[in-house]
């Protein structure tokens, strides 16, 4: 009996760290600003067949509609009610998407904005995604309803009412983040409204949440909200499954608020991972891939079982948030694929793949003047659908990094080697490195300015393997390079530094 209770307690406390992915799948893709109808199609036609475990969707609530600048992507981070009609579609379309993705074993994780409502200068009227009235001056959001006493106005001690110093933890939690009206989550009423919103999504069938701006909320308040959440819908999940929660906390060090204050509540986004991997692959500040031997906790990151990791996210790919010039994005495709290859091969953390839209980048003195630009849209402001080209790439400005062969095949690699240990590290003291995942997979990188020509121990069973970076196994054929592994596990690798993609990856399912 004691053992049973202990097991139960362990299960309950561990639960919010489990992404509940199906069929041994391991990665989340962020389909940034995609319409619900397109995500439903993508789950069925692409994500499930290619082993993606889940989708992070853009905030689904009603938000403000802004015209200056015109329809920026960040308008969706300014809710004006918890009605489920947004730039991505209606509540009916959202429900249809959740059902269809769940039915093919792809989970939905919802980006929830619960720290604040719209900006203080958001005005009064019905300029919202479903035409609901609100008044940012008072403030008054009758559709929730929230009124002036549901906000933190009195608690904030800065003269502007905004966060002025990140070194004062009270300002960071009780004042307005870039003027966004700060909800008072100390109030049971506000906690209840937020939990009600999240429970509506849970009942619909979502598997969890990316919680926006957690640094700006007190951990105790978040705990009180999370404790009111329902278990996941048993149509698709085991009974008593708790929602997977990953919290956005930007902690690059140097501030009094740290990610560790939040790891007891759920998973946390590890921003150091994105910033540091960028400096290594770009070879900034004397960094080398050889130093990645102890990547993970050895680099001062949070423990692997608490970390949600990414090469770039929707903020830092356009200079928002943190990470700066080291962050690698689709704008630098060659090193982006290498960074993604490293992340997806390495066992640290739960991996999230970014899927972006292109915008008219215009960098002046290191700052992108167009960092606000929203998704591909018609002149009436509606988001364009994602058209799929005959060669499987996306059109109309949708980048679809998750469909790039090298990235998609590495998502599959991660599933194949899941639970296998990090092993058989090799490096040349510079930027040529290799490692395995037990006896299930092996990857070799050449980020030096000269060729790599080495025999390495892959620990894989003897045979001929198809490299999943330059091509892939199709039937019994390989469309890319082939690697011969001897019965002793040794294989010879040649990677020219001028190759389109200077890395090679093989795994047990790519054996010919
Ligand atoms: C779970 O999802 C099913 C299918 O959509 C739905 O019929 C049921 O009401 C949901 N359960 C809860 C508790 O909302
Ligand atoms: C916006 O324009 C597109 C393309 O013409 C059209 O399909 C869509 O229905 C319009 N949306 C609204 C809300 O008028
Ligand atoms: C690795 O780089 C070093 C320089 O750091 C170089 O001397 C060596 O030849 C390289 N090794 C291989 C296998 O290319």
Dump pLDDT digits (tens) for 131-169: 999 999 999 999 999 999 999 989 999 999 999 999 999
pLDDT, tens digit (0-9, with 9 covering 90-100), for 365-385: 888 999 999 999 999 999 999
Indicate whether 323 pLDDT > 90: no
Which tokens go with 495? 């990677």
Residue of 428, 432, 453 to mutate, ligand 3, most atoms within 8 A of C-beta: 428
pLDDT classification of 16: cutoffs 50, 70, 90: confident
Residue of 96, 233, 243 to mutate, ligand 1, most atoms within 8 A of C-beta: 233
Q: Check: CB of residue 175 under 8 Å from CB of residue 162.
A: yes
| The pLDDT value given to residue 254 | 93
| Cα separation, 410 vs 52, whole angstroms | 11
| Nearest partner of 451 among 408, 498, 411, judged by Cα | 498
The region, left, alpha or beta by phi > 0 then psi within -120 to 50, assigned to residue 434 is beta
pLDDT classification of 195: cutoffs 50, 70, 90: very high
425 alpha carbon – ligand 3 mean position (Å): 15
Q: If you take atom 5 of ligand 2, which residue's CA is the nearest one?
A: 378
| The pLDDT value given to residue 463 | 98
Angle at alpha carbon of residue 103, lines to 100 and 105, rounded to 5°: 115
428 alpha carbon – ligand 3 mean position (Å): 5
Q: Check: CB of residue 312 under 8 Å from CB of residue 327.
A: yes
289 alpha carbon – ligand 3 mean position (Å): 12
Indicate whether 1 pLDDT > 70: no
Ligand nearest to the CA of 131: 2
| The pLDDT value given to residue 66 | 98
Indicate whether 394 pLDDT > 90: yes
Give the DSSP H/E element, type plus range, for residue 456.
strand 452-457
| Residues 21/26/31/35 CA torsion (nearest 10 deg) | -30
Q: If you take atom 4 of ligand 2, which residue's CA is the nearest one?
A: 378
Find the residues whose C-beta lies inside 6 A of ligand 3: 428-430, 432, 448, 452, 454
Ligand 1 atom with minimal separation from the 230 CA: 13
| The pLDDT value given to residue 366 | 84
Share of the chain above pLDDT 70, in %: 96
- Looking at the DSSP bridge assignments, the partners of residue 112 are 211
pLDDT, tens digit (0-9, with 9 covering 90-100), for 255-292: 999 999 999 999 999 999 999 999 999 999 999 999 99
| The pLDDT value given to residue 404 | 98
Mean pLDDT, rounded, for 318-322? 79
378 Cβ below 6 A of ligand 2: yes
Q: Check: CB of residue 152 under 8 Å from CB of residue 114.
A: no
Q: If you take atom 11 of ligand 3, which residue's CA is the nearest one?
A: 428
Question: How high is the mean pLDDT of the chain?
Answer: 96
Q: Active-site residue numbers?
A: 212, 248
Beta strand pairing call for 107-112 and 208-211: parallel
Which tokens go with 263? 């790891």
Which tokens go with 128? 């919202």
- Classify residue 510 as exposed, middle or buried by CB count within 10 Å of its CB (0-12, 13-18, 19+): buried
Q: If you take atom 1 of ligand 1, which residue's CA is the nearest one?
A: 233
| The pLDDT value given to residue 13 | 46
Q: 3-state class of 362 per DSSP? A: coil
| Cα separation, 82 vs 365, whole angstroms | 39
| The pLDDT value given to residue 319 | 86
380 Cβ below 6 A of ligand 2: yes
Ligand nearest to the CA of 87: 2
- Classify residue 378 as exposed, middle or buried by CB count within 10 Å of its CB (0-12, 13-18, 19+): exposed
Mean pLDDT, rounded, for 119-138? 98
Mean pLDDT, rounded, for 68-80? 97
pLDDT classification of 9: cutoffs 50, 70, 90: very low
Indicate whether 4 pLDDT > 90: no
Q: If you take atom 9 of ligand 1, which residue's CA is the nearest one?
A: 203
Ligand 1 atom with minimal separation from the 234 CA: 1
- Classify residue 16 as exposed, middle or buried by CB count within 10 Å of its CB (0-12, 13-18, 19+): buried
Q: Check: CB of residue 359 under 8 Å from CB of residue 349.
A: no
| The pLDDT value given to residue 365 | 87
């Amino acid at each position: 009996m004691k053992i049973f209770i202990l097991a139960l307690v362990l299960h309950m406390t561990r639960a919010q760290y489990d992404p509940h992915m199906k069929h041994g799948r391991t990665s989340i893709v962020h389909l940034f600003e995609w319409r619900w109808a397109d995500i439903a199609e993508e789950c069925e036609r692409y994500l499930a067949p290619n082993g993606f475990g889940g989708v992070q969707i853009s905030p689904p609530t009603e938000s403000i509609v802004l015209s200056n600048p015109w329809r920026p992507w960040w308008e969706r981070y300014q809710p004006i009610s918890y009605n489920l009609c947004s730039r991505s579609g209606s509540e009916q379309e959202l429900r249809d998407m959740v059902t269809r993705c769940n039915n093919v074993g792809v989970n939905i994780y919802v980006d929830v904005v619960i720290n604040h409502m719209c900006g203080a200068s958001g005005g009064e009227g019905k300029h919202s995604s479903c035409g609901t009235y609100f008044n940012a001056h008072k403030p008054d959001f009758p559709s929730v309803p929230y009124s002036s006493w549901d906000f933190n106005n009195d608690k904030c001690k800065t003269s502007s009412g905004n966060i002025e110093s990140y070194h004062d933890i009270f300002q960071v939690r009780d004042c307005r983040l870039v003027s966004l009206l700060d909800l008072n989550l100390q109030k049971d009423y506000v906690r209840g409204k937020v939990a009600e919103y999240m429970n509506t999504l849970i009942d619909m069938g979502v598997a969890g949440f990316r919680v926006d701006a957690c640094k700006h909320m007190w951990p105790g308040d978040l705990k009180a909200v999370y404790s009111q959440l329902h278990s996941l819908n048993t149509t698709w999940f085991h009974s008593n499954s708790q929602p997977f929660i990953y919290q956005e906390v930007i902690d690059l060090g140097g501030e009094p608020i740290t990610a560790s204050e939040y790891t007891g509540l759920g998973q946390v986004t590890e921003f150091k991972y994105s910033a540091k991997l960028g400096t290594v692959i770009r070879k900034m500040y004397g960094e080398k891939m050889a130093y990645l031997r102890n990547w993970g906790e050895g680099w001062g990151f949070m423990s692997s079982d608490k970390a949600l990791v990414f090469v770039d996210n929707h903020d830092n790919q356009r200079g928002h948030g943190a990470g700066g010039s080291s962050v690698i994005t689709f704008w630098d495709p060659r090193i982006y694929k290498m960074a993604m290859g490293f992340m997806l091969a390495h066992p640290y953390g739960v991996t999230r793949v970014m899927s972006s839209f292109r915008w008219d980048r215009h960098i002046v003195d290191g700052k992108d003047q167009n960092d606000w630009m929203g998704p591909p849209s018609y002149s009436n402001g509606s988001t364009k659908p994602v058209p799929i080209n005959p060669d499987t790439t996306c059109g109309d400005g949708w980048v679809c990094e998750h469909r790039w062969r090298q990235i998609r095949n590495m998502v599959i690699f991660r599933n194949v080697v899941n639970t296998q240990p990090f092993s058989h590290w090799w490096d040349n003291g510079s930027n040529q490195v290799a490692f395995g995942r037990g006896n299930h997979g092996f990857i070799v990188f050449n980020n030096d300015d000269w060729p790599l020509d080495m025999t390495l121990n892959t620990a894989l069973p003897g045979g001929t393997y198809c490299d999943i970076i330059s091509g892939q196994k199709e039937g019994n054929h390989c469309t890319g390079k082939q690697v011969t592994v001897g019965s002793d596990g040794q294989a010879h690798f040649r990677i020219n530094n001028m190759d389109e993609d200077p890395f090679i990856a093989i795994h047990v399912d790519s054996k010919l």
